[in-house]
Structure 1
Amino acid sequence: MSELKDQLNEAVKAAMRAADKVRLSTLRMVMAAIKQREVDERRELSNGDVLAVLSKMLKQRRESYAQYRDAGRQDLAEKEQAEIECISEFMPLPLSDAEVNQLIDAAITETQARSIKDMGKVMGLLKPKVQGRAELSVVSARVKGRLSSV
């Protein structure tokens, strides 16, 4: 079992003991998503796979939060915000702009990318390194900008 999955299981137990309903509900939802993916793929997920599930859930929550806030549904926006905070606790520290740029430069050098056509190679190398630590759409935009100016 992955370390991250163990941490999540322990957090579920702690939330049960503390009778923290919002946190318990969120963590159970996370564990259900992980279990669903394990059943679908018929294998136990690695830390990277669990991070991917958490990243996807965070992205969904952030989008929902923005929609609820824009629609004036503060009650639902607050619920989404609480879920975002809970899930974020299990994410690794985000990369700084300088670290992201450094990783992009290294990936471009390693793949010997020369044009925008090589973007897939570069992103394939970067994705596991930045998963959960940087927004992939932002990284993709930077790679695209870097490759179009090469």
Structure 2
Amino acid sequence: MSQPTLKDRINDALKTAMRAKEKERVAVLRLVMSEFKKIEVDERIELDDSRVLAVLDKMVKQRRDSETQYRNANRPELAEQEAYEIGQIQEFLPAALTASELEAIVVNAIADAGVSEARDMGKAMALIKPQVQGRADMGEVSKLLKTKLSN
């Protein structure tokens, strides 16, 4: 039997959470599955693992932004809910890259793309993105790349 897709693993986790009557986890996983379904219906496609990772990554980024806004607005209960959702979604993302691993990927991409100026960042980012999808914040990657190119 082939290895289950990421989407299948999330669906199985949803079923398990439903059986265990974990209301909050069920709510988060249903939200994730509904996002997948929406994309599949809108684009008439079946999501593959790379697209699922991209969707999960986007959902985590949105929740981080919301969490920051809630903390700034002195709404800790809402910020905690966002943090909980981030934790539930990140469970399905690959392990985060360390700073040294990320730096190595950026340095290699700069060399492979033959990029030397900040205006050519797009070429390097095209090489970096598939390697770090779901494993690093693209905003941080962009800052690191900019720093490396300005030196």
Alignment of 1:27 onto 2:29 = yes
Per-residue CA shift, 1:59-114, capped at 9, x if unaligned?
A: 11111112222222222222212111111111110001111111111111111112
Give the stretch that moved more between structures: 66-75 or 123-132. Answer: 66-75
Q: CA–CA distance in 2 between the matches of 1:10 and 1:132?
A: 20
Q: What pairs up with 1:1-150 in 2 under 5 angstroms?
A: 3-149=5-151
Q: Alpha carbons of 1:2 and 1:128: their partners in 2 closer, same or farther (altered >3 Å)?
A: farther
- Quick one: which amino acid aligns to residue 12 of structure 1? L
Q: CA–CA distance in 1 between the matches of 2:65 and 2:115?
A: 33
Aligned residue-pair number: 149
Q: CA–CA distance in 1 between the matches of 2:80 and 2:117?
A: 44
User: Could you say what secondary structure the match of 2:57 adopts?
Assistant: helix
Q: Alpha carbons of 1:2 and 1:37: their partners in 2 closer, same or farther (altered >3 Å)?
A: farther
**Is this contact kept in 2: 1:4–1:50, CA < 8 A?**
yes
Structure 2: 5+ residue stretches without partners: none
**Is this contact kept in 2: 1:2–1:45, CA < 8 A?**
no
Q: Once the 2 structures are TM-superposed, how far is the Cα of residue 142 of structure 1 from its aligned partner?
A: 1.1
TM-score using structure 1 length: 0.93
Give the stretch that moved more between structures: 37-46 or 101-110. Answer: 37-46
Q: What's the Cα RMSD here? A: 1.5
Identity among equivalent positions (%) equals: 49
User: Could you say what secondary structure the match of 1:128 adopts?
Assistant: helix
Q: Alpha carbons of 1:2 and 1:144: their partners in 2 closer, same or farther (altered >3 Å)?
A: farther
Q: CA–CA distance in 1 between the matches of 2:4 and 2:117?
A: 38
Structure 1: 5+ residue stretches without partners: none
